Structure 1
């Protein structure tokens, strides 16, 4: 993470180093970036910098290693990216840190990842906590949408703005790890950092869903029975919301490719350009189909039946094809 910050987030890195060097580390920091950045990992690096004896987190000492693996006793992490942050979680931090620090550094740290994903009650509790700072207590908040963070929260934090990595640079970095160029292009369409791209590619699920989607496009081109394909092969590999989210990402790339190829622009599925071109001629209105995909994505956070949602989406997309009413 230190190497990433030094190369890709120079301003943020210098800010961390300088505040540590000057002995004026703020009691509350707000890391302000976008959804594709490794916000939690950066927050953990900041936490390690607070307790590390180096000018910033060295990554090698016992304190740094324990913060990284989650065993540091005076660090609490609440992750709003996974689920909504509730009042009792903020209260748990307050109750825990009303006690003396357990570690030799004597510094207590809490990270709230995606602070904007908090209930009103949780935000009110956090605001009260920030208004009564303890010299040994440090808050590290992250947000992917600062406009959704209460202004009074923002005003009580040092706002560290993180920049996005240019897509071309990201593709170059990932391709150096023996990832096929087409997959670099596809993954960079919906993931904004190298580590997550590599993790997604190497996880195995991405390749299965991509291969299935390519087969789906072939079925469209050959005018085969799409409903049978969807009910068997597609349903067999989409088992949870994470799988469906990845499929929606890939579908979005495909339908953007349909639009791009009609407008003589570059596409992401470069190894399948002929297939993309052929199927694009069968899609009545790719913009409308893309809206349907985005609408389903917006429902992912709700308690929904994955299989029914998947079937409904593909039946709707099938209706947008010539000869597939």
Structure 2
């Protein structure tokens, strides 16, 4: 549980605006939070819900210990409703169910909050149904819509919401936050290159998968230059057993991309920005036997592999084609 002042470290402009609105009792009835994954949209949405519903708050700060605050933390507050995609989209029936819930008076305080995650994935009929809520808000009601692509949200919904843009969390601050959780600098730096989601970062550390995956990526990149004949055997024996799920495969390709970026940084003398800093000697050796142009081309091959993976191409074929392309240059 964090305070507004602690959240301000990651999103100073957004938090300052919301704090000021809370202190002056001038909250908008609807907000549209826009920002990439991991920028804290959901965290701040629930913090806003606490401030809105907490009966013991001091100014903008919720008490964090009352029943309302604790229920919101545990995602089981009867007056906080969450809508998120069922399958690929948010459907009209989900919004209609929400409308029905809002015909009843708030269980605890008369106030109600609804949070729409991935609002850009509403179907046209769902978005039009939700629009009625925004045009005729049932006071006191607070709506928070979250999206990575505000431009894909119905323009009339955008115009009836106060839009707040979330900035990416500064890399070094995120690394420091992970280190405070006892995660080594080596893995914290890698994770910060893969995600800006604190929750996802902690989930990655719940097992030793991330450390194993990192080792496989280093091994493959080392063999690419020193033992190229071994690469395809390692893909079969190490890569496929380690990267089993779709998300793991995506992360694996992202790690290869980070390695190539480190190689490019090494080639241009920016070694203070390395993700694989403990592998600097190896990166320097590879930098001598490769050009910046070839490294950039290899990065484009990885991006192509990611597109093939999204198209459900066999993962082993994706990897074999990727490293064949890099070897051929």
TM-score, length basis structure 1: 0.86
Verify the 8 A CA contact 1:25 1:50 in the aligned structure 2: no
- Higher mean alpha-carbon deviation, 226-235 vs 215-224, is at 215-224
Q: Where does 1:108-187 land on structure 2 (aligned, <5 Å)? A: 108-187=112-191
Pairwise CA distance, 1:134: 0.8
User: Which SS does the other structure have where 1:285 is aligned?
Assistant: helix
- Higher mean alpha-carbon deviation, 14-23 vs 46-55, is at 14-23
Q: Where does 1:223-234 land on structure 2 (aligned, <5 Å)? A: 223-234=228-239
Tell me whether 1:295 sits opposite 2:304 in the alignment: yes
Q: Report the counterpart of residue 263 of structure 1 in structure 2.
A: 268
Q: Report the counterpart of residue 50 of structure 1 in structure 2.
A: 52
Taking only aligned residues, the RMSD between alpha carbons, in angstroms, comes to 2.7
The equivalent position to 1:285 in structure 2, one of 269, 286, 294, is 294
Verify the 8 A CA contact 1:81 1:114 in the aligned structure 2: no
Pairwise CA distance, 1:271: 0.6
Verify the 8 A CA contact 1:78 1:89 in the aligned structure 2: yes
Q: Report the counterpart of residue 188 of structure 1 in structure 2.
A: 192
Pairs aligned (count): 319
Cα gap change, 1:203 to 1:96, in 2 (>3 Å): farther
The equivalent position to 1:77 in structure 2, one of 56, 74, 82, is 82
Q: Deviations over 1:224-262 (max 9, x none)?
A: 432222122211122211211221221221121222222
Verify the 8 A CA contact 1:36 1:191 in the aligned structure 2: yes
Verify the 8 A CA contact 2:117 2:146 in the aligned structure 1: yes
Cα gap change, 1:159 to 1:321, in 2 (>3 Å): closer
Q: Deviations over 1:33-72 (max 9, x none)?
A: 3323122121111111110120332221111110111111
Cα gap change, 1:123 to 1:299, in 2 (>3 Å): farther
Verify the 8 A CA contact 2:235 2:316 in the aligned structure 1: yes
Cα gap change, 1:300 to 1:110, in 2 (>3 Å): farther
Pairwise CA distance, 1:282: 6.0
Verify the 8 A CA contact 2:34 2:164 in the aligned structure 1: yes
* Matches of 2:14 and 2:257, distance apart in 1: 32
Q: Report the counterpart of residue 283 of structure 2 in structure 1.
A: 276
Q: Deviations over 1:197-245 (max 9, x none)?
A: 3443344322221122122223322234322221222111222112112
User: Which SS does the other structure have where 2:25 is aligned?
Assistant: coil
User: Which SS does the other structure have where 2:325 is aligned?
Assistant: coil
Q: Report the counterpart of residue 65 of structure 1 in structure 2.
A: 70
* Matches of 1:134 and 1:162, distance apart in 2: 27
Q: Report the counterpart of residue 15 of structure 1 in structure 2.
A: 17
TM-score, length basis structure 2: 0.85
Verify the 8 A CA contact 2:64 2:70 in the aligned structure 1: yes
Verify the 8 A CA contact 1:170 1:193 in the aligned structure 2: no
Report which of the two has the higher share of helix. Answer: 2
